[in-house]
Amino acid sequence: MAIYVLMTKLSPSSMSDSVTRESMGRDWFETVKQKCPEVRWIDHYALLGAYDFMDIYEAPNEEVAAKVAAITMSKGAVKAETLPAVPYKRYLEIIKEI
């Protein structure tokens, strides 16, 4: 499976109340698990910077990754950017072929 990084920005109002934020996060995660059962979650981080959260996960293809991003937007994100990721060791193998 391919690895993807989901960068998410939420509205300021959704970040102001920790109880609401936690509930929204659980709802988002349950929806993704239900709609995209083939996704395997690797990690989840809160960020300081342009984005609020970063999720790293495996999905079988970009269509499933697009579905994860669409669910994220439908659950209150103002921005969701999905990036394909290559493990560093594999990257080194790839550039040796150049």
pLDDT digits (tens, 9 = 90+) for 9-50: 998 888 787 888 889 999 999 999 999 999 999 999 999 999
Taking the C-alpha atoms of residue 69 and residue 3, their distance in angstroms, rounded to an integer, is 14
pLDDT recorded at residue 79: 96
Could you give the domains of the chain? 2-96 (3.30.70.920)
Q: Is the pTM higher than 0.85?
A: yes
Instruction: Please name the amino acid found at residue 31.
Output: T
Per-residue pLDDT at 76 exceeds 90:
no
Closest CA to 68 of 80, 79, 78, 76: 80
